[in-house]
A and B are shown apart, each in its own frame.
Chain A
Amino acid sequence: MERSRPLKPSGVALLLTLVALLAAGFGLSRSLSTASAKSISAATSAGTPVHGGDLTIGFDLNVENCIDPNQDFGLENRDLDRNLVDSLTDQDPSTGALVPWLATSWSSNKTSTVFTFHLRHGVTFSDGEKFNAAAVKTAYDNVYKLGPLSLLGITYVAGYVGTDVVNNYEVKVVFSQPNAQFLQASATTVMGILSPKSYNNTPAQRCLGQFWGSGPFTLQSYTPGVGAVLLRRAGYAWPSSIESNQGPAYLSEITAKWIPEDSVLIGSLNSGQLNLAWPRVALSAANRQLIESAGGDIFSRPYPGITDLLLSNQTPGRILADPIVREALQESINRAQIASTVFSPDYPVVTSVLEDTTPDYTDESSLLGYDPKAAEALLTKDGWVPGSGGIRVKDGRKLTLIEPITEPSPIVDLLQSQLAKVGIQLQEDLVTTAEEESMIDEPGGNYDLAETYYTRGDPDVLASVLDTAIVSSAYVKQSQTAAQQAKLAALFAAGNKAIVPAQRQTIYSEIQNYLISQDIAFPLDERLEVTGVSSKVHGLAVTDEGLTIFNNVWLSK
């Protein structure tokens, strides 16, 4: 990874420094858009690994007070979970293919209803219990039992009948309906295997860290939204088959801190108080420059899964129930400008509802063009005429769209000004999570647009968020008309039956196309993991979902 040299202002001329800064700022020659999923080579990995050391990682966003891998959904907690629990399979980030982990091999029947796993021998949980078929059964039964408490598990194990213990090291996971995405799900932290004893604790207790996994680290402490400490587990010898370090972790300790202030997060990294700064939204060009000039590196990789997008509220009577307004809205979003202004000039522009690193992604950019003139023509034809302050009006009703947000967002700010150009007023309602929930949940919803995204290396991630046959959240139901709900549910069901890759590709392409052409979803930007890394960190690697594999990481002295 190319690195710009630290700037040393000599006394000769301040101007020179300024010019150098400007040049460095604009000349971010290392193109983010070319950073593909195939290149996960981190900062540097040369040299002999050093044993020991305490790595400190800083996060900025806390969306949940839970670190139980079976229940949580936030990237930050999942990042830590990935190092506490192992899964039956792992997904190779360079190919997306599943590779052995706690399962040495597996097979499924033709209808994708029965999955057989052969399990690894000699694995133990950190509480001393043995990993075997009974442990897998206990874990999977309990994920199913969590129901809606496991936001993702509920879709991963939809139609779960049970897990049969064939023998001590072989299980059959049985579903009542085709579940083709289950194999990929078995690689996620959500389906991570906790020790059987863990499930004697209530889900709430597990949320606060009272569980044991078989991972390379154990959880020493966890304070929601503040921090966590992970300790190395001696004797760990069963990482995923593709990991470079097949033994115990090099690091002796990992400290995680939540630092909500952006400037404090970056400054802490630059002053050596953090080894990794991982904000939820990609680092801005300015922050990347700050980190690089302080001698740090930038680690960048696209997340697979659902892009950052808005879902419309199509409840009858709301403005976006009108398909013409939705079409105009789709054409009024300048996605290239969002990428280049909010992020950086080399940031990739969104091209679908799926990130381009997700299997079965299709390029829908022809449907996502920016055409404000066409949008204005559509609105005028639909009866929305310019009113006071440039906001369009129809039958005395202003063209005002409400979007609840829980923290200020430069993306939404920019979108607001883009929409204003065609006469659409975007009203940002900055509220607490609880208030946002009530705006969404009241009958019909008191909002027009709701933001969502999700990280997962399988196209069925769309079902986790948009299939009303499984998902019952108000904002999901309101995003589709009854006809659209039926159409999408049928497509998702077909997707889960499809086991031939080409067939799967066709179905998920159709889903992506349908979501955009029907103007159900409005993609805004690609999501890249852009992390700041101190020069001391070596061997940084991530899973297909972008979660850090700390087992490989070491710190130079």
Chain B
Amino acid sequence: MVRYIIGRVAQALLVLWAAFTVTWIVLYELPGNPVQLLLGGGLGGVSAASPAQIAAVKKQYGLDKPLPVQYLHELWNVLHLNFGTSISQGGRPVSNILAENLPPTLELAGLAVLITIVVAVVLAFVATFVRAAWLRSFLVRLPAFGRAFPTFWIGMLLIQVFSFDWHLLPATGDQGVDSVILPSITMSLPWAFYLAQILIRGMSDVLDEPYIVTARARGESRLRIHVRHVLPNAALPTLTMLGLIVCWTVTEAVIAETVFGRPGLGSAIQQAVQWQDIPTVQAVVLLAALLFVTVNLIVDLLYPLLDPRVTHVPTTL
């Protein structure tokens, strides 16, 4: 078990390092000149900075050093949780930007994951439990249909109905608890359907297992079999997917926060990419990677508890 944990943690660290490095290379390879943007060139502006001003700003951000030096320097800083200063927000510490934008996104993503789980479980449960063939067939196909809709479209539809037509919830902003409902539903629906698909498949498979027949033979009720045997056994692969879904919420937040005009990491990274704000993009990507490895680590560590057979796998590695 200890070896299993050490192995998983080492893997997680490797993923973090790789995420940092790949982002760094991609960002520095991008065409564009963030320094010029910072100094107000471009089409928005009318005047370009002098070479001396450009050199001074480059020096300030350490962009005048050779690339390997810059890379090691930044890696060292990040290891010390120093994410540098934002280019597009005029020298503001990136850690401030993260601190400001993380809470609204966590709130949004947390609720979205919760909705994803509830919708997926309820849908899968009902779809595999009902006896009416037509209803069962409809519910089993529903997730594939639901998954096909793009997130932004769902968001705009929800806004139109719940906010503009029925005046129940606000369309934009982050004031009050009710402002988080529509964006979190928007973010969760595609993944809820995705998760439901996997869960339906898993539950259908479990229903064919001999131990279900045994349970039935012992006279257990259908509901009891579904709750006690089918759902727990089918949930295991879903747990892995859930780990991934938690991470995808960062991507979904970009869309949801833009459509619903909310502050958060999604809109922060959207702005940062637009202005090639390398330190901010880097920090958000790293944060997303951290979320990714942490959630997956938790899932990996939960697995042996839920299924003792898993612990044997790493010892053969």
Asked whether A224 and B271 contact (CB < 8 A) given A65-B89, A259-B261, the answer is: yes
Contact mask A271-290 → B, CB, 8 Å, 1/0?
11100000000000000000
Considering the chains assembled together, what is the distance between the CA atoms of A330 and B10 in angstroms? 64
Interface residues of A in 155-172 (CB under 8 A from B): 155
Interface residues of A in 437-482 (CB under 8 A from B): 437-441, 450-452, 454, 464-465, 470-476
Contact B261 A260 (CB under 8 A): yes
Q: Which of A74, A258, A474 contacts B44 (CB 8 A)?
A: A74
Asked whether A438 and B31 contact (CB < 8 A) given A260-B258, A267-B163, the answer is: yes
Contact A464 B36 (CB under 8 A): no
Cβ of B186 within 8 Å of any chain A Cβ, yes or no, is no
Q: Which of A208, A441, A451, A464 contacts B41 (CB 8 A)?
A: A441
Contact B164 A435 (CB under 8 A): no
Cβ of A261 within 8 Å of any chain B Cβ, yes or no, is yes
Considering the chains assembled together, what is the distance between the CA atoms of A154 and B50 in angstroms? 13
Contact A434 B46 (CB under 8 A): no
Cβ of B316 within 8 Å of any chain A Cβ, yes or no, is no
Contact mask B32-69 → A, CB, 8 Å, 1/0?
11101101111111111110010000000000000000
For A432, list chain B residues within 8 Å (CB): 32, 273-276
A60's nearest neighbour on chain B, judged by CB, is B261
Cβ of B226 within 8 Å of any chain A Cβ, yes or no, is no
Cβ of B90 within 8 Å of any chain A Cβ, yes or no, is yes
Contact mask B143-174 → A, CB, 8 Å, 1/0?
00000000000001001100111010011110
Contact B40 A148 (CB under 8 A): yes
Contact mask A209-234 → B, CB, 8 Å, 1/0?
00000000000000111110000000
CB distance from B271 to the nearest CB of A (A): 5
For A203, list chain B residues within 8 Å (CB): 90
Considering the chains assembled together, what is the distance between the CA atoms of A268 and B162 in angstroms? 12
Q: Which of B30, B42, B156 contacts A436 (CB 8 A)?
A: B42
Chain B: number of interface residues, binned into ranges: 35 or more
For A273, list chain B residues within 8 Å (CB): 163, 170-172
A263's nearest neighbour on chain B, judged by CB, is B156
A451's nearest neighbour on chain B, judged by CB, is B43
Contact B171 A271 (CB under 8 A): yes
Considering the chains assembled together, what is the distance between the CA atoms of A435 and B276 in angstroms? 8
Cβ of B121 within 8 Å of any chain A Cβ, yes or no, is no
Considering the chains assembled together, what is the distance between the CA atoms of A152 and B163 in angstroms? 40
Contact B45 A151 (CB under 8 A): yes
Considering the chains assembled together, what is the distance between the CA atoms of A273 and B172 in angstroms? 9
Considering the chains assembled together, what is the distance between the CA atoms of A439 and B32 in angstroms? 8
Contact B46 A151 (CB under 8 A): yes
Cβ of B128 within 8 Å of any chain A Cβ, yes or no, is no
Q: Which of A63, A73, A264 contacts B259 (CB 8 A)?
A: A264
Cβ of A204 within 8 Å of any chain B Cβ, yes or no, is yes
CB distance from A450 to the nearest CB of B (A): 6
Which of A268, A434, A438, A474 has the largest number of chain B CB atoms within 10 A?
A434
Contact B164 A271 (CB under 8 A): yes
Residues of A contacting B: mostly: mixed
For A270, list chain B residues within 8 Å (CB): 164
Contact A268 B44 (CB under 8 A): no
CB distance from B247 to the nearest CB of A (A): 24
A453's nearest neighbour on chain B, judged by CB, is B43
Contact mask A58-94 → B, CB, 8 Å, 1/0?
1000111110000001100000000000000000000
Contact mask B223-241 → A, CB, 8 Å, 1/0?
0000000000000000000
Considering the chains assembled together, what is the distance between the CA atoms of A149 and B46 in angstroms? 10
Cβ of A247 within 8 Å of any chain B Cβ, yes or no, is no
Contact mask A403-435 → B, CB, 8 Å, 1/0?
000100000000000000000000000001111
Contact B90 A433 (CB under 8 A): no
Cβ of B216 within 8 Å of any chain A Cβ, yes or no, is no
Contact A152 B43 (CB under 8 A): no
Contact B47 A470 (CB under 8 A): yes
Considering the chains assembled together, what is the distance between the CA atoms of A66 and B89 in angstroms? 8
Considering the chains assembled together, what is the distance between the CA atoms of A202 and B89 in angstroms? 12
CB distance from B42 to the nearest CB of A (A): 4
CB distance from A408 to the nearest CB of B (A): 14
Considering the chains assembled together, what is the distance between the CA atoms of A122 and B159 in angstroms? 49
Contact A148 B48 (CB under 8 A): yes
Cβ of B91 within 8 Å of any chain A Cβ, yes or no, is yes
Considering the chains assembled together, what is the distance between the CA atoms of A224 and B101 in angstroms? 12
Q: Which of B42, B259, B261 contacts A433 (CB 8 A)?
A: B42
Q: Which of B33, B263, B274 contacts A227 (CB 8 A)?
A: B263
A154's nearest neighbour on chain B, judged by CB, is B47
CB distance from B160 to the nearest CB of A (A): 7
Asked whether A65 and B271 contact (CB < 8 A) given A148-B49, A437-B36, the answer is: yes
Rank and list the top 9 A-B pairs by shortest CB-CB distance, nearest first.
A204-B90, A434-B276, A434-B32, A151-B45, A204-B91, A438-B32, A438-B31, A267-B164, A472-B48
Q: List 19 extra interface pairs beyond A432-B32, A435-B32, A475-B43, CB under 8 A.
A: A65-B89, A204-B91, A205-B90, A223-B263, A227-B261, A261-B259, A263-B160, A270-B164, A432-B275, A433-B276, A434-B32, A434-B34, A434-B275, A438-B31, A440-B42, A441-B33, A472-B50, A473-B41, A474-B41
8 pairs, CB–CB < 8 Å, chain A vs chain B? A66-B90, A151-B47, A208-B89, A261-B258, A438-B31, A441-B36, A452-B43, A474-B41
Using CB atoms and an 8 Å cutoff, list the residues of chain B in contact with chain A.
30-34, 36-37, 39-50, 53, 88-92, 100, 156, 159-160, 163-165, 167, 170-173, 258-263, 267, 271, 273-276
